[in-house]
Amino acid sequence: MTHVRNAAMVLVAVLLVVAGVWASWGSAQHVLLAKGREHGTLAVSRCTEERCVGRYRGDGPPRELGIERSVAAGPGVVIPVVVKPGTAEGVRTGWGGGLHAWLPLGGALVLAAPLVAGGLRLRRTAWGMAGAGVALWVAAFFTL
């Protein structure tokens, strides 16, 4: 019975971390694998609760582009971006953009840590996972 419980805890913890990677990869791939993509800057003109929109200037023709809202985005800010191919969506580049893209993975690590600590009795591993997740959050906050 103990082996079944441990297997279930491992499965749920791995599922959480894989879901975090999956959620992060949608934006992170454009930052990490930016070679050959359209690069430029976005001059933010207006923002809603979830998105900011502005004028893009860069490798391609000037046009209106949207970006996910972050703590540093606001009207009047100029952000370096890479354009997602085939869309009018940009992703922030550089360290801040890369760390911001991996925020879902940080959340998944923090969520999986109690399962690893309580269910698998691997407290040091759990502290390491939670610490890595929180470090990712803090690093993203300060680099934006």
Q: What is the mean pLDDT of residues 18-33?
A: 94
User: What is the count of structural domains for the chain?
Assistant: 2
Position 68 scores a pLDDT of: 86
Residues 25 and 70 in one domain: no
| Res 72 pLDDT > 80 | no
Q: What is the mean pLDDT of residues 66-91?
A: 87
Instruction: Copy the structure tokens of residue 103.
Output: 């925020």
- Which secondary-structure segment (H or E) carries 138? helix 123-143
CB burial class (10 A; 0-12, 13-18, 19+) of residue 50? exposed
**Torsion angle, alpha carbons of 80, 84, 89, 94, to 10:** -20
Position 125 scores a pLDDT of: 96
| Res 21 pLDDT > 70 | yes
Q: What is the mean pLDDT of residues 92-104?
A: 92
3 state SS of 122: coil
3 state SS of 13: helix
Confidence of residue 140 (pLDDT cuts 50, 70, 90): very high
Confidence of residue 60 (pLDDT cuts 50, 70, 90): confident
Residues 142 and 113 in one domain: yes
Q: What is the mean pLDDT of residues 73-102?
A: 90
Residues 110 and 81 in one domain: no
Position 71 scores a pLDDT of: 62
Residues 45 and 13 in one domain: no
Position 127 scores a pLDDT of: 97
Q: What is the mean pLDDT of residues 23-50?
A: 92
Residues 42 and 87 in one domain: yes
Residues 86 and 53 in one domain: yes
**Domain with 132 in it:** 1-34+101-144
| Res 73 pLDDT > 80 | no
